[in-house]
Structure 1
């Protein structure tokens, strides 16, 4: 394991805090009000945890707004690319962090932040680097372009202690296949919040998508 700064603490596992079904839908909103509406729709569909991606100017304000409007919901920040992103997300009220990639500097920054987090990986070398930092839960991204289910099966025999949050290319049609993998602890993505539905304010339709996905996840959990 690399020599860490004295300020760094042991990583906090994301699986220990995720609420509800093993789903982590992405929220990308242009305004705090829109972020709250999306979160409410997802919550009404049975979702307990959401990831607000830092891809819009109001993303941080959206995190704060959701935390205030829906205190029962676990709210995290995605697209963490730097130490300043991690700090800003934490200050906005984010309860966990997710990154699309990994570097030593970024890993140390997220560990130092003290929040549960899942760093992004796409190759065995990146997984090995994260594991050297004591990380046993990572985001597999982009899942569909990085080998998908077959890649995760192959990785399971090599990295037996590592579990994954696959994101990218997941939908209702293959959700059960991903969640059925022993080394998958949660599935993330934007299929529950289609941009067209968000733009049109079709909150009921988003709730229905969330309810269908929640039923799939909960059925698999009950059968496990």
Structure 2
């Protein structure tokens, strides 16, 4: 396993309780040695970054301190797209701090179920929002914004309904319970123009197969943020898993594009 090293792009990782969200300001550009943030944080640009990565790391934690440490471990290891589940304590303040510390990362909030939480997440700097189902209020509020909304879908009807309503990408959930790779392969065929994220029960090892069979990206939760590693604060293991996931995701995307040329 390759080692993970700190760099100028790896700020000190400590939970610093944030001030009021109303005082949030956009992150400053990075200094030397780090990739600058995009000039326009549009939904289309965010979608392209997700498709280029192939992996969305999904973090849920029992405390803001644990969330910060685990998120930093994953981001430093190469994860470029990260969602924090809304049930994480102080989730919006954690997001706020990560946006400041990692301005080039694509950061979002997951399991968002109502428009109020969506608006707070956007105010804290979320580039994307994800739900287990389509929440019409969130979709309506984000259609004209620069924030990407990824609604959850399960059936062909739900996929087409979300797309016709304006969704640029959908999350097939719970994909493992629906049949896994074979389900993605089958459900994507009539909708090749609709980007799909495979979510629930996806392993690092199966990432390539999901992408090869039609998924634009996969959501990896416990595959990266291993339960035992989180409970023992084993951030080295989280970094190793994140590095492996990032490399496999990038390679799967490259391979898929080579095959479709």
Q: Normalising by structure 2, what TM-score?
A: 0.75
User: For residue 237 of structure 2, what is the aligned residue in structure 1?
Assistant: 205
2:116 to 84, 93, 112: 84
User: For residue 7 of structure 1, what is the aligned residue in structure 2?
Assistant: none
Aligned positions of 1:190-201 closer than 5 A? 190=221, 191-201=223-233
Deviates more, 1:55-64 or 1:74-83: 55-64
Aligned positions of 1:168-187 closer than 5 A? 168-181=200-213, 183-187=214-218
Matched, 1:50 2:100: no
Is the 2:113–2:135 Cα contact (8 Å) retained in structure 1? no
Aligned positions of 1:123-142 closer than 5 A? 123-142=155-174
Deviates more, 1:84-93 or 1:14-23: 14-23
**Per-residue deviation at 1:20?**
6.4
C-alpha distance in 2 between matches for 1:18 and 1:96: 10
C-alpha distance in 1 between matches for 2:86 and 2:145: 17
Q: Secondary structure at the match of 2:197?
A: strand
Aligned positions of 1:46-125 closer than 5 A? 46-111=78-143, 114-125=146-157
Distance change in 2, residues 1:60/1:195 (3 Å):
farther
Output the aligned Cα RMSD: 2.0
User: For residue 31 of structure 1, what is the aligned residue in structure 2?
Assistant: 63
User: For residue 4 of structure 1, what is the aligned residue in structure 2?
Assistant: none
Is the 2:80–2:105 Cα contact (8 Å) retained in structure 1? yes
- What 5-or-longer segments of structure 1 have no aligned partner? 1-10
Deviates more, 1:200-209 or 1:110-119: 110-119
Is the 1:46–1:210 Cα contact (8 Å) retained in structure 2? yes
Q: Secondary structure at the match of 2:188?
A: helix
C-alpha distance in 1 between matches for 2:138 and 2:48: 22
- What 5-or-longer segments of structure 2 have no aligned partner? 1-41
User: For residue 198 of structure 2, what is the aligned residue in structure 1?
Assistant: 166
Larger Rg: 2
C-alpha distance in 1 between matches for 2:137 and 2:178: 23
Q: Secondary structure at the match of 1:188?
A: strand
C-alpha distance in 1 between matches for 2:145 and 2:109: 13
2:219 to 169, 183, 188: 188
**Per-residue deviation at 1:112?**
5.2
Is the 1:99–1:120 Cα contact (8 Å) retained in structure 2? yes
**Per-residue deviation at 1:113?**
5.0
User: For residue 25 of structure 2, what is the aligned residue in structure 1?
Assistant: none
C-alpha distance in 1 between matches for 2:91 and 2:156: 31
C-alpha distance in 2 between matches for 1:217 and 1:45: 13
Is the 1:29–1:58 Cα contact (8 Å) retained in structure 2? no
Deviates more, 1:95-104 or 1:80-89: 95-104
Is the 1:20–1:47 Cα contact (8 Å) retained in structure 2? no
Per-residue CA distance 1:172-218 (angstroms, 9 max, x = gap): 2312111212x311111211012321121111101111111122122
Is the 1:118–1:139 Cα contact (8 Å) retained in structure 2? yes
